[in-house]
């Protein structure tokens, strides 16, 4: 049995090996037959290559090139072919975005509509005394203050209320002259007309002098009724109001024209509001105004624009506007702060779109019109009046056309909008722009250092690296700012990245200027070294 085991194993191995060889041979033959039956597509029948349109910025910035190149960070531009879903290649200048991306971007549209534009102009103001209701009490004769009836600043007084008792030799003399003249007129009633006329003229002159000295009618009537001249007379308030200033002191001597009291009628007051220069054209005399006073947060006051001052404060770029309002109960105190709101701009209905629908590059304003699923048409528009939420479209959009109001800047980045808009300004093709060195309206990017800021001129000096899209080497040059606010948070010496356009021949305008991160600065430095 031990001698037969090796023979059995050898026979088993031989059978397994033979089966494996036979299966392999059969499988190979089948494969060969299958491969022979499958035709191979000839090279001529291969898919034709797509037409290259241009190269776009790899970061989605609005910049294109007809030839391969790198951006300021050293990244290769991405080739764009005819028929791509992400871009527009139509002659009509439409922008195409895949429906999936439209959903991801959160695109939202709203039809342009006819509206009456009205917005709120807000300004800070302060309560002031109505200058026409301010009175100074200054006797027109020399005398002495014998006694005070009103002896405190801030005390309210009524019209005709006695303020103080005054003694004046001139006043006593004028009273005596009037008393004598009045008695003379009565005594000469039987005399000739000439004598009566002369005595009457003397009495009238004495009476006129007392009235010119602001002696009250009550005291004059007492003298005319046959009373005797008094040593002192009461000097009364000419108006009702509040005593703002009191200089009168018992026993003091005063001279003609010297102010003893200042009284203000606070039943109506002014609010002087400082309206910004950009809003002053919307403010008109007669407009109704709503005011809020910090001291009374639960109350609202209303007034009327009475006067727009002809001067502007250069320090704040504001124009004072006078608002008049009633002050029942004297709630409004002079020097209180007020928040002013004026509803301005309401007029006939005009075509409007939401403010968010406008893409402002600094050189022109664009809106996106939805033409269908994933298709958008960029339109250059002319803007008019604005409200807080809507802006008037004077040219470019008709009533009822759907405009993109959300994610329009993302569509701009995704679709390279400025490539589709290239023909709206210069009419030049990308190839023609490359030949001339630059296409007006097309943005370029660079990284560098902010050297200086001239706020008055609206310019900055920048030392930037090479600009591949313009074939510029690294250099230091001056740029205009599309908006002075671009440089508000930057200081000379800051590392920055900029986007700029050529507004007109030789005038380069920065439309975006941002500080660079440490990683961005390192990448820019390595890219510049590579050039």
Helix axes 193-212, 217-224, angle to 10 degrees: 150
Q: How far is CA 150 from CA 216, 218, 230, 246, 385, in A?
A: 17, 20, 21, 9, 56
- The yes/no answer on whether domain 120-131+265-344 falls in CATH 2.60.120.10 is no
Q: Is the pLDDT of residue 525 over 70?
A: no
First to last CA, the chain: 87
Q: Cα–Cα distance between 166 and 176 in angstroms, integer?
A: 16
User: HSE-up of 482 (CA within 13 Å, CB side)?
Assistant: 20
Q: Is the pLDDT of residue 271 over 80?
A: yes
State the average pLDDT over residues 170-182: 81
**Sign of torsion, CA 212 214 215 221?**
positive
State the average pLDDT over residues 300-322: 94
Per-residue pLDDT tens digits for 228-246: 778 888 888 988 999 999 9
Are the C-beta atoms of 402 and 111 separated by less than 8 Å?
yes
Are the C-beta atoms of 258 and 141 separated by less than 8 Å?
no
Q: Is the pLDDT of residue 255 over 90?
A: yes
Q: What is the pTM of this model?
A: 0.48
By the 10 Å C-beta count (0-12 exposed, 13-18 middle, 19+ buried), 507 is classed as exposed
Per-residue pLDDT tens digits for 36-85: 334 444 444 445 677 787 787 665 555 678 888 887 666 677 787 765 54
146 band by pLDDT with thresholds 50, 70 and 90: very high
- Top-confidence residue, 51 or 449: 449
State the average pLDDT over residues 130-137: 92
Are the C-beta atoms of 93 and 378 separated by less than 8 Å?
yes
**pLDDT at position 62, please?**
57
DSSP string, 44-61: GGSPPPPPEEEEE-TT--
**pLDDT at position 485, please?**
81
Q: Tell which phi-psi region holds residue 503, choosing left (phi > 0), alpha (psi between -120 and 50) or beta.
A: alpha
Per-residue pLDDT tens digits for 466-488: 988 888 888 899 998 888 888 88
Are the C-beta atoms of 464 and 475 separated by less than 8 Å?
yes
- Top-confidence residue, 427 or 293: 293
| Annotation: CATH topology of 95-117+348-415 | 2.40.420
SS3 101: helix
For tokens 């709120």, what's the residue? Answer: 120
Q: Cα–Cα distance between 169 and 167 in angstroms, integer?
A: 7
Q: Cα–Cα distance between 244 and 468 in angstroms, integer?
A: 73
Q: What does pLDDT average to over the chain?
A: 77
Give domain limits for the chain: 95-117+348-415, 120-131+265-344, 139-258, 426-530
pLDDT > 90 fraction of the chain, expressed in percent and rounded: 27
The gap from C-alpha 251 to its chain's centroid, in whole angstroms, comes to 60
431 band by pLDDT with thresholds 50, 70 and 90: very low
Helix axes 169-187, 217-224, angle to 10 degrees: 40
By the 10 Å C-beta count (0-12 exposed, 13-18 middle, 19+ buried), 519 is classed as exposed
**pLDDT at position 370, please?**
87
Strands 143-148 and 134-137: unpaired
State the average pLDDT over residues 180-185: 76
Q: What are the DSSP E strand ranges found in 334-443?
A: 337-344, 350-354, 359-360, 365-372, 375-386, 390-395, 402-406
Which of 416, 444, 518, 438 lies closest to 71 in space, CA to CA?
444
**pLDDT at position 522, please?**
54
Q: Which CATH superfamily is domain 426-530 in?
A: Copper binding periplasmic protein CusF (2.40.50.320)
**pLDDT at position 371, please?**
83
State the average pLDDT over residues 331-359: 86
**pLDDT at position 96, please?**
74
Question: Which helix H or strand E contains 37, and what residues bound it?
Answer: helix 5-37
Q: Cα–Cα distance between 310 and 314 in angstroms, integer?
A: 13
Please state the φ and ψ torsions of residue 291, each to the nearest 5 degrees: -125, 145
Are the C-beta atoms of 352 and 112 separated by less than 8 Å?
yes
pLDDT > 70 fraction of the chain, expressed in percent and rounded: 76
Are the C-beta atoms of 377 and 144 separated by less than 8 Å?
no
For tokens 């764009």, what's the residue? Answer: 80
- Top-confidence residue, 84 or 411: 411
**pLDDT at position 412, please?**
61
State the average pLDDT over residues 358-371: 83
State the average pLDDT over residues 305-325: 94
Per-residue pLDDT tens digits for 193-229: 777 777 778 878 888 888 888 887 788 777 767 667 7
- Top-confidence residue, 433 or 400: 400
Residue 276, token pair as written in the block: 């910004």
């Amino acid at each position: 049995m031990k001698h037969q085991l090796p023979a059995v194993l050898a026979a088993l191995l031989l059978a397994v090996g033979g089966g494996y060889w036979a299966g392999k041979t059969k499988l190979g033959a089948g494969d060969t037959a299958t491969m022979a039956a499958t035709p191979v597509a000839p090279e001529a029948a291969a898919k034709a290559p797509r037409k290259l349109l241009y190269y776009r910025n790899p970061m989605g910035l609005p910049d294109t090139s007809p030839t391969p190149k790198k951006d300021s960070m050293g990244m290769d531009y991405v080739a764009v072919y005819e028929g791509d879903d992400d871009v527009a290649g139509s002659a009509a200048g439409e922008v195409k975005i895949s429906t999936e991306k439209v959903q991801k971007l959160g695109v939202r549209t709203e039809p342009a509509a006819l509206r009456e534009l009205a917005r709120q102009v807000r300004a800070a103001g302060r309560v002031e005394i109505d200058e026409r209701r301010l009175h100074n009490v200054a006797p027109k004769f020399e005398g002495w203050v014998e006694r005070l009836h009103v002896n405190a600043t801030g005390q309210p007084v009524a019209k005709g209320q006695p303020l103080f008792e005054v003694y004046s030799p001139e006043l006593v003399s004028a009273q005596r002259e009037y008393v004598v003249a009045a008695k003379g007129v009565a005594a000469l009633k039987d005399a000739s007309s000439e004598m009566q006329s002369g005595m009457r003229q003397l009495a009238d002159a004495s009476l006129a002098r007392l009235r010119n000295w602001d002696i009250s009618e009550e005291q004059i009537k007492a003298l005319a009724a046959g009373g005797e001249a008094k040593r002192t007379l009461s000097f009364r308030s000419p108006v009702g109001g509040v005593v703002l200033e009191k200089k009168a002191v018992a026993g003091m001597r005063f001279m003609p024209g010297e102010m003893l009291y200042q009284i203000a009628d606070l039943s109506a007051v002014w609010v002087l509001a400082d309206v910004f220069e950009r809003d002053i054209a919307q403010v008109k005399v007669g407009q109704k105004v709503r005011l809020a006073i910090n001291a009374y947060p639960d109350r609202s006051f209303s007034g009327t624009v009475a006067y727009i001052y002809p001067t502007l404060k250069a320090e704040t770029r504001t124009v004072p506007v006078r608002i008049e309002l009633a002050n029942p109960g004297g709630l409004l105190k002079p020097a209180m702060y007020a928040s002013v709101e004026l509803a301005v701009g309401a007029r006939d209905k005009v075509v409007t779109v939401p403010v968010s629908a406008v893409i402002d590059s600094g050189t022109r304003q664009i809106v996106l019109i939805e033409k269908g699923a994933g298709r958008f048409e960029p339109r250059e528009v002319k803007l008019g009046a604005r409200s807080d939420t809507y802006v008037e479209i004077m040219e470019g959009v008709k009533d009822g056309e759907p405009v993109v109001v959300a994610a329009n800047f993302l569509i701009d980045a995704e679709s390279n909008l400025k490539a589709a808009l290239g023909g709206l300004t210069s009419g030049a093709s990308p190839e023609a722009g490359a030949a001339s060195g630059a296409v007006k309206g097309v943005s370029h990017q660079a990284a560098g250092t902010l050297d200086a800021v001239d706020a008055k001129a609206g310019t900055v000096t920048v030392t930037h690296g090479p600009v591949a899209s313009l074939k510029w080497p690294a250099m230091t040059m001056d740029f205009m700012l599309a908006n002075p606010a671009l440089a508000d948070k930057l200081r000379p010496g800051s590392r920055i990245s900029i986007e700029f356009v050529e507004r007109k021949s030789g005038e380069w305008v920065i439309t975006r200027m941002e500080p660079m991160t440490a990683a961005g600065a390192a990448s820019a430095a390595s890219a510049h070294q590579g050039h």
